């Protein structure tokens, strides 16, 4: 089974992706994570991340194309943060077609701007991949990761001025993408405002169909 998670910054895509891969044994491809990893080697990536703009399509499509070359793709996957615009969706279709792979569902997790700001400004992350929220999902010890005891940090693009720009980009690109997946009957609406368990329940119910 293969799925896509769409939604604004802070919608809970990463949180739900972790729940899905743990419970349904599939691969998780987050272009945001891949780019944050890649910025250590390619400094130009960081400029885009810090400005809240999208990294150029060619760059991201190439990353995805390369990842799809690997055989483990047959295990099933969840795409998180890709595609981000219509061009990326069309390119993804070409990659999938060449591999004879189909997408089963596209989950659209919607939350409003105020909730997104609240979630993102409170997010703290660890290098090990764990993610927290200072009030809604706090670590046991303030500022320290429960799993590896490293110091938690705030993502550079989680500052309020960058979040606004990320949201503006999102609002410009999302409508055509929604129309695209609605037209081919893959789109499923998920109420992202519910708590983490409830959102996972909604997503699981479609995966189990
Ligand atoms: P990316 O890393 O994809 O960021 P994003 O889409 O902005 O999403 P976030 O990671 O901010 O949020 P999320 O939805 O994963 O929420 P999370 O689960 O963490 O992209 C970053 C940048 O990379 C982009 O701006 C762009 O520059 C570049 N990029 C990435 N993909 C690209 C592409 N395809 N093309 C071009 N450029 C690309 O949750 C957030 C917080 O809320 C956490 O603290 C969490 O604990 C909490 N939370 C989660 N669920 C709930 C809930 N149900 N209730 C209450 N709190 C919750």
Tell me the domain boundaries of the chain: 2-112+171-207
Q: From first to last of its 209 residues, what are the pLDDT tens digits of the chain?
A: 999 999 999 999 999 999 999 999 999 999 999 999 988 888 899 999 999 999 999 999 999 999 999 999 999 999 999 999 999 999 999 999 999 999 999 999 999 989 999 999 999 999 999 999 999 999 999 999 999 999 999 999 998 889 999 999 999 999 999 999 999 999 999 999 999 999 999 999 999 98
Query: What is the torsion angle, in degrees rounded to the nearest 10, for the CA atoms of residue 12, residue 18, residue 23 and residue 27?
Result: 120
The Å distance, Cα 32 to ligand 1 centre, comes to 8
Dist CA 62 CA 127 (whole Å): 25
CATH class of the region 2-112+171-207: alpha beta
SS (H, E, C) the chain: CEEEEECCCCCCHHHHHHHHHHHHCCEEEEHHHHHHHHCCCCHHHHHHHHHCCCCCHHHHHHHHHHHCCCHHHHHCEEEECCCCCHHHHHHHHHHHHHHCCCCCEEEEEECCHHHHHHHHHCEEECCCCCEEECCCECCCCCCECCCCCCECECCHHHCHHHHHHHHHHHHHHHHHHHHHHHHCCCEEEEECCCCHHHHHHHHHHHHCC
The reply to whether omega before 84 is within 30° of 0 (cis) is no
Q: Which of 5, 6, 13 to mutate to test the pocket of ligand 1 (most atoms within 8 A of CB)?
A: 13
User: How far is the centre of ligand 1, averaged over its atoms, from the C-alpha of 10 (Å)?
Assistant: 5
Pocket of ligand 1 (CB under 6 A): 7, 9-15, 31-32, 35, 48-49, 52-55, 60, 81-82, 84, 88, 119-120, 122-123, 131, 133, 136-137, 157, 166, 195-196, 199
pTM score, whole prediction? 0.96
- Tokens read off for 43: 């400094």
């Amino acid at each position: 089974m293969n799925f896509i998670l769409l939604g604004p910054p802070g919608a809970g895509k990463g949180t739900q992706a972790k729940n899905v891969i743990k419970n349904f044994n599939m691969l998780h491809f987050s272009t945001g994570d891949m780019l944050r990893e890649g910025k250590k080697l390619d400094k130009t990536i960081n400029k885009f991340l810090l400005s809240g703009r999208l990294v150029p399509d060619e760059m991201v499509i190439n990353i995805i194309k390369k990842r799809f070359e690997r055989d483990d793709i047959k295990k099933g996957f969840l795409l998180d943060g890709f595609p981000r615009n219509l061009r990326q969706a069309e390119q993804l279709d070409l990659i999938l077609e060449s591999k004879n792979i189909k997408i089963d569902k596209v989950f659209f997790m919607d939350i409003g701007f105020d909730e997104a700001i609240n979630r993102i400004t409170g997010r703290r992350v660890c290098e090990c991949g764990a993610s927290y929220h200072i009030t809604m999902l706090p670590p046991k010890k303030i500022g320290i990761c429960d799993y590896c005891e490293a110091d938690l940090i705030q993502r550079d693009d989680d500052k309020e001025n960058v979040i606004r720009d990320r949201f503006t980009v999102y609002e410009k690109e999302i409508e055509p993408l929604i129309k695209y997946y609605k037209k081919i009957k893959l789109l499923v609406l998920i109420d992202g405002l519910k708590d983490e368990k409830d959102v996972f329940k909604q997503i699981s119910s479609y995966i189990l169909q």
